[in-house]
Chains A and B, each alone.
Chain A
Amino acid sequence: QKEVEQNSGPLSVPEGAIASLNCTYSDRVSQSFFWYRQYSGKSPELIMSIYSNGDKEDGRFTAQLNKASQYVSLLIRDSQPSDSATYLCAFAYSSASKIIFGSGTRLSIRP
């Protein structure tokens, strides 16, 4: 079983709409959860981290974590063309430990 599962996409969303990205993970002992954004040919950029159940908002981004369902999601409000990228779901077992990445969901915002 894959450790982190994401729909590879592409997910196409009109400009100004809400983009919803989903991820499931296999290991219940996972402690920390992350969303990274990766533009083509560039490095992963941390956009959200979440550690406890519930929602965490930062600007246009909201991360949601449900540990019982082993599910984490990312909502992007008022989607902009610059949000077009691959979004990587990731987790770590503990602070400072390795990060385990999913394969990513490609998001395309159409004008």
Chain B
Amino acid sequence: EPEVTQTPSHQVTQMGQEVILRCVPISNHLYFYWYRQILGQKVEFLVSFYNNEISEKSEIFDDQFSVERPDGSNFTLKIRSTKLEDSAMYFCASGQGDNEQFFGPGTRLTVL
């Protein structure tokens, strides 16, 4: 069964450094999403992406964040200058636009 994959599974970085989180969505999906979950808190929407542009973003997704689909398979989330409060699980999800979204295993980001 096709699934969303994410790399790395765990990323440790120093405050102020840039990180890139990578995702490979399910191959026939057209809609891509990033969510995050701070430890012990709810899953929060960050951004959605369709047809090579952002379709919606939350107030969390400020100028420090960007997304890109650099080729036909990868979808990336970049955090330009990480803060301590960016420490969280970051989930990529994809869907066909028919309501259902399927989540990848997540990247645990730790900012020291």
Whether A92 contacts B48 in the complex (CB less than 8 A), given A43-B104, A101-B42, comes out as no
- Determine the chain B residues whose CB is within 8 A of the CB of A1 once the complex forms: none
Whether, in the assembled complex, B15 has its beta carbon less than 8 Å from a beta carbon of chain A, the answer is no
Residue of A nearest to B6 (CB): A43
Contacts known (A44-B103, A96-B31, A98-B56); A104 close to B42, Cβ less than 8 A:
yes
**CB contact under 8 A between A97 and B48, given known A44-B43, A102-B42:** yes
- Complex: how many Å from CA A100 to CA B58? 11
Chain A residue numbers with a CB within 8 Å of B106 are: 42-43
Q: Which of A43, A44, A51, A95 has the most CB of B within 10 A?
A: A43
Q: Say whether B43 contacts A96, CB under 8 Å.
A: no
Bound: A101/B33 CA distance, A:
14
Does B45 interact with chain A (Cβ within 8 Å)? Answer: yes
Per the 8 Å Cβ criterion, residues 50-103 of B in contact with A are 50, 55-56, 58, 89, 91, 95, 97-103
Contact A49/B43 with A44-B91, A96-B50, A96-B95 known, Cβ cut-off 8 Å = no
A103 sits at the interface (CB 8 A): yes
Q: How far is the CA of A45 from the CA of B55 in the complex (A)?
A: 24
Which residues of A are interface residues toward B (Cβ below 8 A)?
31-32, 34, 36, 42-46, 49, 51, 88, 90, 92, 95-104
Q: Which residues of B contact A (CB under 8 A)?
A: 31, 33, 35, 41-45, 48, 50, 55-56, 58, 89, 91, 95, 97-106
Additional A-B contact list (14), CB under 8 Å, known A96-B97, A101-B42:
A43-B104, A43-B105, A44-B43, A44-B91, A45-B103, A46-B102, A88-B43, A90-B43, A95-B98, A96-B48, A97-B56, A98-B33, A99-B35, A101-B43
